[in-house]
Amino acid sequence: NAGVTQTPKFRILKIGQSMTLQCAQDMNHNYMYWYRQDPGMGLKLIYYSVGAGITDKGEVPNGYNVSRSTTEDFPLRLELAAPSQTSVYFCASSYGLQGGSTDTQYFGPGTRLTVL
């Protein structure tokens, strides 16, 4: 199993550009998540999904969009990139069998995004 994969690893965007961060998992997990981690800070949840076709906002959703058309994929879309979106983005997944955050989350390696 590859686990959780993310692409790209690094990206530099200009202000106002758009991009999609890709995330895929091959563990048949129900739950998937997007977090951002700013330098020296903890993780903040952007969006999450409890299954295909279902998404919901986390703590910091503004400026982002997601979709979950399949169990495996959970892309994160940035529209009109801003310097405040410079961060490291982590995708994660979990079984979610008991609901909520009771199951172990498995993380991808991250995408380091810089907006100039």
Partner 1 sequence: GDSVTQMEGPVTLSEEAFLTINCTYTATGYPSLFWYVQYPGEGLQLLLKATKADDKGSNKGFEATYRKETTSFHLEKGSVQVSDSAVYFCAPGDTGNQFYFGTGTSLTVIP
Contact residues for partner 1, defined by CB under 8 A: 4, 33, 41-43, 45, 48, 50, 56, 58-59, 90, 92, 98-110
Q: How far is the CB of 106 from partner 1 (least distance, A)?
A: 8
Q: How far is the CB of 90 from partner 1 (least distance, A)?
A: 5
What 3-state class would DSSP assign to 41?
Answer: coil
CB nearer to partner 1: pick between 3 and 16 = 3
CB nearer to partner 1: pick between 59 and 79 = 59
71-105 core/surface letters (b: 16 or more CB in 10 A; e: else): bbebbbebeebeeebbbbbbbbbbebeeeeeebeb
CB nearer to partner 1: pick between 5 and 67 = 5
CA distance 26 to 116: 34
Q: How far is the CB of 71 from partner 1 (least distance, A)?
A: 18
Residues 60 and 42: beta-carbon distance below 8 Å: no
